[in-house]
Amino acid sequence: MLPEELEKDFETLGEQKFRAAQVFQWLSRGVRDFDGMTNLSKPLRERLKAEYDLYMPKVLNKQISATDGTIKYLWELRDGNAVETVVMSYKHGNTVCVSSQVGCRQGCAFCASTIGGLVRNLEPSEILDEVMYSQIDSGKPISNIVLMGIGEPLDNFDNVMRFLQLVNHPKGMNIGMRHISLSTCGIIERFDDLAQRDLQLTLSVSLHAPDDETRSKIMPANRGRGVDALIAACRKYYEKTGRRISFEYAMIDGVNDTERHARLLAKHARSVAAHVNLIPLNHVDERPFQPSTPEHLRAFIKVLESEGVNVTVRRKLGGDVDASCGQLRRKMQSRQ
């Protein structure tokens, strides 16, 4: 709940309004026991215990990369489901990569998160807990959030929007929208809703292929929508918000990494002033795909640069801790 909502509840309970802000602040610091809220009176604490119930996720598994310190958490939720969160350290601060759903129904052919399908949406509080408890457990202050874990954020739109309000709240974690990226496989029906909210976040679009033939093969979300409609939706979003979109492009050997792909990608990127972020594919055991060779990656970058596209290659972190999305949850499931 937002402090404003808690205030209303407290008024109905006949409690003083300012108590709501105190409770919100305690919760934002990760306190999950009313007795730990020491500036509340004992009778109020007892009352809250009777009226509300608090939960915190449990660490089911935690792996720390020996090479770069990336931390991967597998959290157990109250219904026994599990989701992953990754904490990555950069010079400019710590970034947390959060899941937005338990599983995913988008079916991308190279992705581990989608193998068991969608189980359920995460609640706003569960996504918030990923950020909060990653910070508390790791001792690393989180300054940036990427919604790039398990799940499709735009398929859980309302809960994700509420999570953003919570995590951005000045009395809570107070993480600025400019420090948040939301990644989508291209659920274009939601782009207008998102643009309308006028958030200052970065929209990342998982493009991964610039033509319908290739994209529909590896991303079922493309079927019935199409690349042209996606690019048009991106242009509209950019025009409405003034916020540059970032195209994510996982380089898959022999699938989407030829010169033809690079030229078409460049055309799309230029047409919407998008930034291109190339990601060497993370091989997933259950999937047949391999990352592009370094030579192909270099040649691809050269084409994009010669076409005047703003391109970066994502540095690989956490390679020794299965840090790409869905892999850890998958492993735990297959052991059961």
Write out the residues near ligand SAH by the rule CB under 6 A.
106, 108, 110-111, 148, 152, 183-185, 206, 248, 250, 279, 281-282, 284, 324-325
| Least gap, CB of 45 to ligand SAH (angstroms) | 40
| Least gap, CB of 223 to ligand SAH (angstroms) | 15
Nearer Cβ to ligand SAH, position 7 or 152? 152
Q: Residue 232 burial (CB < 10 Å; 0-12/13-18/19+)?
A: middle
Nearer Cβ to ligand SAH, position 15 or 248? 248
- Whether 84 sits among the annotated catalytic residues: the reply is yes
Listed as own residue / partner, the contacts of 177-180 with beta carbons closer than 8 Å and 24 or more positions apart are: 177/201, 178/202, 179/143, 179/144, 179/145, 180/144, 180/145, 180/146, 180/147
| Least gap, CB of 38 to ligand SAH (angstroms) | 39
| Least gap, CB of 257 to ligand SAH (angstroms) | 13
Q: Exactly one of 97, 104, 185, 325 is catalytic; which is it?
A: 325
Phi, psi angles (nearest 5°) of residue 3? -55, -35
Q: Exactly one of 7, 84, 126, 130 is catalytic; which is it?
A: 84
- Whether 325 sits among the annotated catalytic residues: the reply is yes
Phi, psi angles (nearest 5°) of residue 214? -70, -45
Nearer Cβ to ligand SAH, position 171 or 296? 296
**Beta-sheet pairing, 311-313 with 82-90:** unpaired
Nearer Cβ to ligand SAH, position 159 or 183? 183
For every residue of 230-277, DSSP letters joined together read HHHHHHHHHHHH-PPPEEEEEEBTTTS-SHHHHHHHHHHHHHTT-EEE
Instruction: Please give the structure tokens belonging to residue 245.
Output: 């979109």
Nearer Cβ to ligand SAH, position 46 or 286? 286
Q: Name the percent of the chain in helix, strand, coil, to the closest 5.
A: 40, 20, 40
| Least gap, CB of 135 to ligand SAH (angstroms) | 21
Where in the sequence numbering do the catalytic residues fall?
84, 325
